Chains A and B, each alone.
Chain A
């Protein structure tokens, strides 16, 4: 600390012949002028150090004395700065740097989000941005309590949010809502058939079943009624709940053209670099026109790190435009069939994921350069569709 203070305060080192130094030091002692660091420097020379005030007094006191081989060296911050006094750019740069550092402490440098499991960090950051918390946001304007409340209210998936500003870094901790399978049974409804079929089994947890096992039902037919007629209390409306499994037949089709368009890259690329400092974007290019007719845009964002540890609010955004042309390509029937099978598998998996497959029949047709794959599937599946009963608030 002492050395730092000495550097900031500045000091003078006077070197002269030993005899002269002794005489000078005696004068300084008599006048109570502090000195320190008296050291022999070889060749009969001795040096000593003086503070700036003491040096001024030394100059006055020894004005009429003969100090042999006197040499004065100035040290410290001001001595260093005076070496650059003619370099205006250096000082402007230093002042700007200091001002920038001071100003940057009022802005958010980084936002760390933790605690999310289903939501992505990007989604949360986007929501926060809407409420005024983003990299580069002015810290005094950020009301963290209001933000926490608004984030939880407007994001259904969240049950808790906490925002802590640690210096220039915003730590966002969230907890996601755990969905509980709670059925709202207050809304009255009916269950109707969503396709034709023959009833295999009936499982009713609410309402009155209107069909029997083995019965053939049509699409739209009432399966479970939410209107219950009771002799004791009269009609009452309930929510019909349950599963009615029926033997049904479903048809799926997938069409694949034998001639298709294919993207082919020409290898021509153009790259644009943009620097983002907080929320401000600075383009490092002048011409924004892309001469390609068709192109893909690939954007890479890289954040600058100091010593691989300190993340700075400076991003380098590299946008690459890659040209492509579309070409027609013929594919074989085998290839088309393979594509159609994949598409059909996707369709059946989506529709019949909980169904019990009894039989499956497939056939293919090629008409006008299009391969069509048909699949007829017999299965047992739940055929209920819930239709809510409109009421005026009375049951």
Chain B
């Protein structure tokens, strides 16, 4: 079941839910991809998702889903 862990992040234009899948709304592009780190372009800079066995899926207009064992989210 998806659970919002950082609801205040909505103000940044993105929505993150769950620890196994992060749905990033307002994604402008993909900067970098590897199984350990995904860096996504968002309106205010970059969002780095770190973890293990990460994989990506298009989840609708301007949305990207990052799935895997997520360890950290960092705004750069």
Contact = CB atoms under 8 A, between A and B. Distances in A.
Interface of A: 18, 21-22, 25-26, 28-30, 32-40, 46, 48
Contacts, number: 45
B30 A22 contact: yes
Contacts of A34: 58
A35 B30 contact: no
A28 B33 contact: no
What are the nearest 10 A-B pairs in CB distance? A38-B56, A26-B29, A36-B57, A40-B35, A34-B58, A35-B58, A22-B30, A39-B55, A25-B30, A38-B55
B57 A37 contact: yes
Given A22-B30, A38-B57, 6 more contacts: A18-B34, A26-B30, A29-B28, A35-B56, A36-B57, A38-B33
Contacts of A25: 29-30, 33, 56
Given A28-B58, A29-B27, A33-B58, A39 B35 contact: yes
A42 to B, nearest CB: 9
Interface string B18-45: 0000000001111111110000000000
Given A26-B29, A29-B29, A29-B64, A40 B34 contact: yes
Interface residues of B, number: 16
B18 to A, nearest CB: 17
Interface of B: 27-35, 55-58, 61-62, 64
A37 B34 CA distance: 13
Listed residue (A22, A28, A33) with the most chain B CB atoms within 10 angstroms of its CB: A22
A46 B58 CA distance: 15
B34 to A, nearest CB: 6
Nearest to A27: B29
Contacts of A21: 33
A39 B30 CA distance: 14
A40 B30 contact: no
Contacts of B33: 18, 21-22, 25, 38, 40, 46
A32 B35 contact: no
A38 B29 CA distance: 14
A328 to B, nearest CB: 92
B1 to A, nearest CB: 19
Contacts of A28: 58
A37 B58 contact: no
Contacts of A48: 56
Contacts of B55: 37-39
Contacts of B28: 29
Contact of B32 (A22, A32, A38, A39): A22
A186 B52 CA distance: 100
A119 B57 CA distance: 69
A33 B34 CA distance: 21
Contacts of B64: 29
Contacts of A38: 33, 55-57
B61 A32 contact: yes
Nearest to A42: B35
A28 B56 CA distance: 13
Listed residue (A21, A29, A39, A46) with the most chain B CB atoms within 10 angstroms of its CB: A29
Contacts of B62: 29
A174 to B, nearest CB: 58
A376 B56 CA distance: 107
22 contacts: A18-B32, A18-B33, A21-B33, A22-B31, A25-B29, A25-B33, A25-B56, A26-B30, A29-B27, A29-B28, A29-B29, A29-B30, A30-B29, A34-B58, A35-B57, A35-B58, A36-B57, A36-B58, A38-B33, A38-B55, A40-B34, A46-B33
Contacts of A36: 57-58
A20 to B, nearest CB: 11
Contacts of A33: 58
B44 to A, nearest CB: 18
A27 B31 CA distance: 12
